[in-house]
Amino acid sequence: MKTSTLTKSIFLKASPEHVWTFLTDPEKISTWFHKPDKPLKSDASFEMIGAESGKAFMWGKVLRAEEPKFLSYEFQMPQLNGHVTTVTCELTAVPGGTQLSLEHSNLPHTEETFGLLQSLDKGWDGHLSDLRKEAA
């Protein structure tokens, strides 16, 4: 199966250490993304809970967490039909703040899954916009 990768990059007026907490602490993650059931740490499995449903709708495992510069996790959700995707975040200190580079890889890319790819692309845009507001 052909796969695709979404790549995003934003600049935040905050230190990498501060931004890191918004990528790993459940309470802070919930301000811009979906709340995990536990902190995101290396080798830890997690579930992300829907704000409205209160039920797990994403589940996965943290592959690598190197505070405050690198986080990678894999996850599944019902729309992926058992397909596992990977999200990788790299934090780089820049003058005045942090550059966050996000890559969402191994996304199924067929004519049938194109709508899902578009939805995830738009979703990341919204989530990262919210992160920009919350982490500043």
State mean pLDDT over 45-67: 90
Rounded to two decimals, the pTM is 0.94
Distance CA 121, CA 94 (A): 25
The dihedral built from the CA positions of residue 64, 132, 91 and 9, taken in this order, carries a sign that is positive
**Residue type (1 letter), 111:** E
Domain range 3-135, CATH architecture: 2-Layer Sandwich (3.30)
Is residue 71 over pLDDT 90? Answer: yes
Specify the residue for token string 């990262």.
128
Residue whose C-alpha is closest to residue 71's, from 53, 87, 82 = 87
The mean pLDDT of 44-57, rounded to a whole number, is 85
Domain boundaries along the sequence of the chain = 3-135
pLDDT tens-digit map of 4-48: 999 999 999 999 999 999 999 999 999 999 999 999 999 999 999
Q: Could you tell me the pLDDT band of residue 79, with boundaries at 50, 70 and 90?
A: confident
pLDDT band at 53 (very low <50, low <70, confident <90, very high): confident
